[in-house]
Every structure is written in structure tokens, then in C-alpha cells.
A and B are shown apart, each in its own frame.
Chain A
């Protein structure tokens, strides 16, 4: 034959494959997050740029070095840790001391991902693990907010950003309060328009609901995000918020405020949808979403903190394998009528 010396490989079927591979899916999530990150920098200036950079770098470096230490090939090329870093950075207050940012990034990737066995085995969203650690360790710093669109935001960096490790951060200038804190502690609601466009104070990347939604639509259209999860979360929060507001308009904010304020949009679209830590069936995803929505509402209404998205998602992450254990697809040719 013409190809003497060439060997034919033996491979079992199927002999073709299609669709995106893991790294392509991950890269697309990064693309979907870029407008959110860009708006964060536009809104909070240099502080946000530094926070996001340190968040991504600390997460990627942690994963790379831990792989090295374990004498395993590095897994940063699958891009999942880049998402973790970006998401983690987007949930932090813009002027958080950078050493804290790096600490949380390390904890999130090391404890939230690597210890579980890396990509595919993490029970919890690693970005939220990192943030939960910071929330527990530095509650004051995690609730110190910056005013958006400060005139000098591209000229100066807030003093707190460069706080030396383990020193108490100093906050200068005007501190902003988040819409949820304003409501919880001062009884003020913020307009839905402002919330949609991101004109408010808050975590680096949680403020602009429109861009977050756009990223979600981009991913859902590419079948890289199960839209049922954000739909169930936002729907249940809206429904519960509407019911409470109807019963007692003075005690509870309107549904629109509930849905578009705080970290709910970022959490519902980008955090709760972490494929690894969410259920595998569509029905399971809806249950999981409703659970998150209910927990968010309960924590916001009756908890000590104004916001509850992070803990709601982490709790639901823990429940996710059990949802999968209960909800399986109906196998063809069984129990139909």
C-alpha cells in the first residue's frame, strides 16, 4: 500500500465528536464576564482594577503553584480558575485591602477547589468559599463600600487599598452605602432604573444588572449556562418579595428592588450556575434555584446582614448532590402512563 510504515490506530466508537470542549466553555464564561469587569473599573476606578487584578492573579497563581507542589501538570490552561478569580474579585468591595484580596483568593482556590480534587470535584463555588472566608475574618472591611463614579477614581487609589497586612484599614473620602444596607438600616429603597444601570454603590461587579443579564443571555444562547437556574432564583425572589411587599409594604421592599439589588443578579447568573456545584437535571436545577431564592429572601428579611446571596448559594451547593440523588431523568420505556 502507498503508506508503508504508517500505522492505523484502533479507537472505539464514536469516531467523531462535536461541540465545545471544557476550555472553550470556560473561555466563553470569561468573555461574558469582561463587560461586567469593564463596568466595574469604569464605576469604581483604579481601586476596582487593582482588586480584580489581584483577585485573578492570586487565584491563578495558587492553582498553578499547588499543581506544581503536587507534581501534577498545571490545570490553569482549562481557564476555570480564571473564572473563579474574576468572579471572586467582582464580589469584593472595591477598596478592600489588596492583601485581604490575595488571602481570600488563596483560601478559595486551595480550600474550595484544590482540596476537593480540582475542577469537577469542588462541592462549592470556590469564588464564594474565598469570599465567605473574608466575610468571617474581616467583617468590617467586607462591609465598607465606596461611592461609585467618584471624580478622582482614576487619579487616586483609596488609602485602604494599600493597607499593610494585618493593619486596620483606613477609609478616606465619602463612603457609600449599598442599596440593601440603605433599606435595612435606614428604610430607603433605591429605584429599579438606578439598580439596572449600576449607578449605585456595592461590590465591584454586582452593581450593573443589565450587563450581568447580557452576559447570562450570551452564555445561555451558547448552551453554556442553564437558564433555568437564574430564572428559578430570580422568579422565586420576585414572587416572595412581591407577596411580602403586598402584605406589608412598609416592612418589605418591592419585588423589583429585591431582584435587582445587591449580589443577586451576579449570584444567580454567574455563581449559582457553576456547572460542577449545581444539579445535573433540569428539574433538579429548578428546585436548586427555588431553594436559593427562598434562602436569599429569608436571609435578607430576617437575617442580621442586609445581603444573603453568598450563603444561600453555598448552602444550595451543599444540597445539590442530594437533589441529584433524588431527581433523575425518567428512563425511556419506564413508567409512562
Chain B
């Protein structure tokens, strides 16, 4: 049942940035055109790059496998369009590092139909077979983390899952892809939940939806098939409600242990768009070769939600959507955790949930002041860290102390501390660097 509560479920701390979703929330998902050349990186997820199974000059059909997973921590890549493989070469990645990618030139005038593969039958497939099908379908977390979904679903032998949490929170400002998916792909979501329940052995599923999408939650609730052990729960609008630790806390009042996984508290969480893709692709044996993204922000003319082929270069996407005057910053994902770009020659990948452009008005430089111990960051941090102290320690270069005494490695870089900091100290940036250094040192030790 949809619970009517005066006080919505919530986690402690957090922030309330402007939602900025009105521009795109009511715009139906539109198909994005094919770019003249697509760039499909072999590593679009956390883990190992896929192994190409096509050669240069080969003609491929849309949806055909381009690269096979290389081991468990890897997923397949599929052709975003029918076309010819130009070359397999290095291409710039988001971070600026060159990564191997398959360059594909789509055929003009092709019908671009996607063929059927070997279906993964829900009724007959074993959990192991479903996991394999998810890996072969190339599915990764579409919320932005791009962690291989089959790895996430592989529950450790010693833990038992009782609840599957479907994450339809979408707490990042500007992004409305999950919102649209929950309106337009309800049947896919329900099929996806059936697969996921079977894989994880969970007894029930809870779809968590933020209160700014209450209507969507109600629609989902009323469309729920009677035999599906699932419910929709409305959670408070607060950032970062969509972080899995926060959502589990809000829905189930369970705290994932520091350094632990949701399976430690008998939960698995899957993003709602990922769930919808599982439900859309597995019954047809297809792979993921496009995804829904929000292209928006004050710097974009044709704001909207688009089903965009994976591998579309950003430059093409930006030209199609139209850049407004005075664009000064673009980034992938939402404004709280979105990655800044080093180049427009990088492609949309599976983890890209949004492409946002800001103008001068949003990016006026702000003077940095010394930390005044106002404790705004302490009151904002959803993990109850002490960003003020961490910031001072990072300035002093005491990275080991940050990790050992102040739980640096728990930080998931949600950005709440930087957002509220009246001194405009780039706290998250410092923590990201410190985490990298600590990881490096521990890795080499």
C-alpha cells in the first residue's frame, strides 16, 4: 500500500538543493538520431574492459555483440547501430585518459532494426542463467555508478536477501530520466523485478520514489500486477536520498555497515532504469545499446529526455540539442556528482544519466574563505562524517589520519558538504584526491 504519512520516510542530515526538474519532467522520451560516427569504449563500467569480437571493416547489425566480457568483472558491448567498424583504437575517456574503443560508422538509410537473440525465459531460467544473461546483455548500473549489475546481484554465499529495493528516487537536480522511465516503461519495470526477485531470492520488492514524483508512485502502485510481491514507498525529497545506503535507511531503517554492502543487511538495491532495461532486454535476448538520458540545464535549447545510442559523441549530442549563449561548463550526470569533461570528443556511455550545460550565470566564481567551523558540513553529511576536520587534515596532508580516524574511505562524494560550505572550500575535490592517494598507498603496501 502507498502509505499516507505526514512525515515521509527519510535519512538523517542531507540537503535540499533546487530540484530544477520542471523543464524536462513532463517531456516524453524521444529517440535521439544516430551520429555519423559512434565511439563504443570497451570499458564503460567499473571492472575489466570487454574483449572485441569484431574486426575493422566488418559490417555489424544493430544490437550485435561487439565485445565479449573478459571475466566476471566485465560485461558485453553491443552495436548501437547497423554499420561498419571503422577501427578499434584509443579514444579519450571522461577523465581524459585514452581508452580502447570501437569506432562504428552507421549505415545511412538502414532500417536500424534490432534482431532477436536467445531469450532468457523467466519461468525456466535458473538464477545463475539469469545472472549470465544480464552480463551478456551488458547491463550495468544506469544510475551513474556503472557497476556491473550481475556482480551486484551475486549475493555472497553467507548472506540471505529478504528485500529487493528498486531505486526510483532520482535525487540529483535536473535529471528526469528515471521519472520518465517510471511513467513510460512500467511493464518493463515489473518484468525486471520478477527477474531480480528470482536471482536474489528476495521475498519482496520495494520501489522507493521521492515525494516530488508522488503521482508517478501512485501510478506505479495502481499498475502493480496482483501476483507481484512489490510495493511503492514514497520517501522525502532530500539529497542524497538516492544513495543506496540512505534509501535503505529510509525504507527499512537498516544501516549498511561502514565498509560493508547492502547484502550485509539482507538487501539488494537496483536502479529503476536498470530494472526496466532488464525487463525490456532479457525476454528478447538483446543487449543494451542505448539508454535514456536527460539533456538539460540553462545552457541547452532543446532540453529533453532522450533514448540515446551508447557511443554518441557529446559534440554531436550538443549540436543536436543546441547550445544556448554563454555556455561555460558542461558535465555528465547531475550537478551534485556529475563528472566534468575534459573534451567533447568523448561518447555517451552506459553510466551517463544526464548531460547538463551551465552558463556564466550558474558558474560565477566564488571567493574561498578559511573554514570558520560553522558545522554546516557536519550537519549535511549523510554519513555523519566531519568534513570540516577532514578538510583541515587534507590541507595538512594527513591522509592516513583522515582514513584511519575520520572514516575518509566511507565518503561517497555526494557533494553535500561542498554545497553548503559558506567558505566555498572544495571539500569533495580534496577528499577525492585523498582517497585516491590512500588507495594507492594501501595498494602498493
Known A-B contacts A22-B423, A276-B372, A329-B378; A9 and B329 likewise in contact (beta carbons under 8 Å):
yes
Contact partner, A280, options B15, B344, B363, B373, Cβ 8 Å: B373
- Asked whether B422 lies within 8 Å of A329 as measured between CB atoms, the reply is no
Cβ B371 vs Cβ A120 within 8 A: yes
What distance in Å separates the Cβ of B297 from its nearest Cβ neighbour in chain A? Answer: 9
Residues of chain B within 8 A of A22, CB atoms compared: 369, 372, 422-423
**A278:B385 contact, CB within 8 angstroms:** no
> Which of B245, B338, B384 has the most chain A CB within a 10 Å cutoff?
B384
B57 within 8 A of A: no
A332 with B378: CB separation less than 8 A: no
Contact of B337 among A13, A118, A121 (CB under 8 A): A13
Q: Which of B120-128, B132-140, B184-192, B250-258 contacts A (4 or more CB under 8 A)?
A: B250-258
In whole Å, how far is A75's beta carbon from the nearest beta carbon of chain B?
A: 9
User: Which B residues fall within an 8 A CB radius of A?
Assistant: 15, 17-18, 173, 245, 249, 255-260, 315, 318-319, 323, 325-331, 333, 335-342, 344, 356, 358, 362-363, 366-367, 369-376, 378, 381-386, 388-389, 406-407, 410, 413, 415, 418-424, 426, 428-429, 432
Query: How far apart are the CA atoms of A324 and B393 in the complex, in Å?
Result: 14
In the complex, A12 has a CB within 8 A of chain B: yes
- Whether the Cβ atoms of A1 and B258 lie closer than 8 Å is no
B257 and A334: CB pair below 8 A?
yes
* Smallest Cβ-Cβ distance to B392: which chain A residue: A120
Report 5 cross-chain contacts, Cβ distance below 8 Å, ordered by A residue: A10-B341, A14-B419, A15-B362, A16-B419, A276-B373
Across the interface, A120 reaches (CB within 8 A) one of B318, B369, B420, namely B369
Contact B428 A280 (CB under 8 A): no
Q: CA of A336 to CA of B249 in the docked complex: distance in angstroms?
A: 13
**Are A18 and B373 in contact (CB-based, < 8 A)?**
no
With beta carbons under 8 angstroms apart, the residue of B358, B419, B422, B429 that contacts A20 is B422
Interface set of A (CB-CB < 8 Å, partner B): 1-3, 6, 8-25, 78, 80, 117-121, 223, 226, 275-276, 278, 280-281, 324, 328-334, 336
| A15 close to B17 (CB less than 8 A) | no
B384 and A9 contacting across the interface, CB-CB below 8 Å: no
* Contact flag A21-B422 (CB < 8 Å), given A10-B340, A14-B335, A15-B335: yes
Nearest 3 Cβ contacts at the A-B interface: A120-B370, A14-B415, A333-B258
Nearest Cβ on chain B to A152's Cβ, whole angstroms: 43
Knowing A17-B366, A21-B369, A120-B372, say if A12 contacts B426 (CB, 8 Å). Answer: yes
Complex partner residue of B369 from A13, A119, A226, CB under 8 angstroms: A119
Contact A280-B378, Cβ < 8 Å, known A1-B319, A15-B329? yes
> Is A331 a contact partner of B429 (Cβ separation < 8 A)?
no
The reply to whether A18 and B331 form a contact with Cβ atoms under 8 Å apart is no
Report the number of A-B residue pairs with Cβ-Cβ less than 8 Å: 168
- A319 CB to nearest B CB, Å: 15
Per DSSP, chain B at the interface is: loop
Flag if B362 contacts A10 (CB, 8 Å): no
A275 to B379, CA, bound (A): 14
* Docked-complex contact A13 and B327, CB < 8 angstroms: no
Contacts of A328 in B (CB 8 A): 386, 389, 406
Give the distance to chain B from A324, nearest Cβ to Cβ, in Å: 7
With A22-B369, A329-B385, A331-B410 already in contact, the answer to whether A12 and B340 are too (CB < 8 A) is yes
Residue of A nearest to B173 (CB): A16
**Contact between chains at A121 and B255 (CB < 8 Å):** no
The reply to whether B420 and A330 contact each other, CB–CB distance below 8 Å, is: no
For A17, give its contact among B260, B386, B388, B418 (CB under 8 Å): B418
Most buried by B among A22, A120, A226, A324: A22
A2: shortest Cβ distance to chain B, in Å? 6
Contacts of B372 in A (CB 8 A): 22, 25, 80, 119-120, 275-276
B327, A16: Cβ atoms under 8 Å?
no
* Cα–Cα, bound, A15→B17 (Å): 11
Contact of A12 among B362, B410, B429 (CB under 8 A): B429
Residues of B within 8 A of A78 (CB): 369
For B362, what are the chain A residues with a Cβ–Cβ distance below 8 Å? 15-16
- The CA-CA distance from A120 to B370 in the complex, in Å, is 6
CB-based contact B341/A2 at 8 Å: no
Shortest CB–CB separation between residue A63 and chain B, in angstroms?
Answer: 14
A17 contacts B419, C-beta separation under 8 Å: yes
Q: Do B256 and A333 touch (CB < 8 A)?
A: yes
Residue ID in chain A nearest B382 by CB atoms: A332
* Distance of A250 from chain B, by nearest CB (Å): 43
Looking at A23, A25, A121, A329, which has the most chain B CB atoms within 10 Å of its CB? Answer: A329
Which of chain B's residues have a CB closer than 8 A to the CB of A23?
369
Q: Is the CB of A280 within 8 A of B338?
A: no
Task: Let me know if A11 and B424 touch, CB within 8 A.
Answer: no
Q: Which of A8, A16, A120, A331 contacts B407 (CB 8 A)?
A: A331
Would A11 and B422 be within 8 Å (CB), given that A25-B374, A119-B372, A331-B410 are in contact? no
B331 to A13, Cβ gap below 8 A?
Answer: yes
Seed contacts A3-B327, A12-B429; 14 additional CB < 8 Å A-B pairs: A3-B326, A8-B330, A11-B331, A13-B339, A15-B338, A15-B340, A16-B335, A18-B18, A21-B423, A80-B372, A119-B372, A280-B388, A328-B386, A333-B383
List chain A residues, Cβ under 8 A from B255. 332-333, 336
Which residues of chain B come closer than 8 Å to A21, judged between CB atoms? 366-367, 369, 422-424
A333 contacts which chain B residues (CB < 8 A)? 245, 255-260, 383, 410
Rounded to whole Å, the gap between the CB of A154 and the closest CB of chain B is 38
Interface pair B335/A24, CB less than 8 Å apart:
no
